Amino acid sequence: MLIQANDMHYTALNGAVRGSADSEIEIFGCTGQRYIGAGLSGKQIAVHGTPGNALGAYLAGGEITVYGNVQEATGDTMNGGTITVHGSAGDATGYAMRGGKIFIEGDAGYRCGIHMKAFREHSPAIVIGGRAGSFLGEYQAGGNIVVLGNGAQPVVGNFCGTGMHGGQILLRCDEVPPLPAQVKAERVHGPCDEESAELIREWCRKFGRDEREYMNAVYYRLTPNTENPYRQMYTAN
């Protein structure tokens, strides 16, 4: 199904997507319409243009591919499926996501991966090709965030991993950025585990990059510091 979004109201556009019996939908002329693909599963959606907030919120399966930038809260509380962005992403990408994967060719804004968590058999993942803004992985409780740092130094903004108490963040860079006390950093050569390596390979396949550039690079693996756990910041009742 082909949809010319242009000046369509977001409710009309989402109604057309939800009401279509086709499993493959292509949207042209997207100009900020919100909630595209929210709560869906089993559809392949291609978006040309710039979708609005909460693209793929509560996505349960299928795939959304955007040929352009995305705005805030892409993949909000996502449970499954894949979102691929041939551009950059706004703030709070992957907010509270519990499963699925988000691949971003360019940069991500502030608070990417905030409140990410593993849920039952699901473990969410975000791969960012460029740099990430401040508060990356804030309050992260599970899942995997990879920042490849293409053309960007520093690769991450301030306060990376603030409140982190689960999961990991993998930064491709030569020097570890300033980190809060709740986070520890380990310098590694190449992806430190097969899950991260496969995420990087998948990112390379999607965006036509040579994986060899990334497999032998220096990374810093960030995990919660068990000697200074975040829970110590709370007052006991």
Judge whether 46 and 67 are in contact, CB under 8 Å.
Answer: yes
Q: Which of 25-29, 101-105, 174-178, 211-215 has the lowest mean pLDDT?
A: 174-178
pLDDT of residue 236: 45
Is the pTM for the entire model greater than 0.85? yes
pLDDT > 90: percent of the chain = 86
pLDDT > 70: percent of the chain = 96
pLDDT of residue 71: 98
Residue ranges of domains in the chain: 88-233
CATH class of 88-233: mainly beta
**pLDDT at residue 232 above 80?**
no
Mean pLDDT of the chain: 93
pLDDT of residue 229: 60
pLDDT of residue 235: 44
What residues contact residue 80 under an 8 Å CB cut-off, 6+ apart? 41, 59, 60, 61, 99, 100, 122
